[in-house]
Amino acid sequence: MEAIASMILIPLAFWLDVSKVERALLISSLLILLIVEMLNTAIEVVVDRIGTEIDPLSGLAKDVASTSVMFATILAGSVWAIIVLY
């Protein structure tokens, strides 16, 4: 979902009438979101690869990685809302 949103929003950032700094913030917030999502996926794959047994540390690693994606999503949404709506 983040990749599809980025494919739409990054070109939109070039179309919007905003300053160069604002455009950079719009695009970089989306790229940060994609980077964090890839790291989250990597952590989940490694945890799943190590073993199938339930371990509290494995669950914690996945939870923290997922939470980082949530914060990156909030960051990107906030940046876009502040720049585009105000």
**pLDDT of 54 higher than 90:** no
Q: Give the number of residues written for the chain.
A: 86
pLDDT band at 12 (very low <50, low <70, confident <90, very high): very high
What value does the mean pLDDT take over residues 64-82?
98
Q: Please give the positions annotated as active site.
A: 37
Q: How many beta carbons lie within 10 A of that of residue 78, not counting itself?
A: 11
Contacts of 59 by beta carbon, 8 Å cutoff, 6+ apart: none
Q: Please report, for residues 13, 34, 77, the alpha-carbon distance to residue 86 in angstroms, rounded to integers and kept in the order given.
A: 15, 25, 13
Q: What is the pLDDT of residue 69?
A: 98
Handedness of CA 59, 61, 63, 69 (dihedral sign): negative
Across 8-24, average pLDDT = 97
* pLDDT per position as a tens digit, 19-51: 999 999 999 999 999 999 999 999 999 999 988
Both tokens of 25, joined, read 């913030």
pTM of the prediction?
A: 0.91
Between the two ends of the chain, the Cα-to-Cα distance in Å is 26
* CA angle 69–24–9, rounded 5-degree value: 60
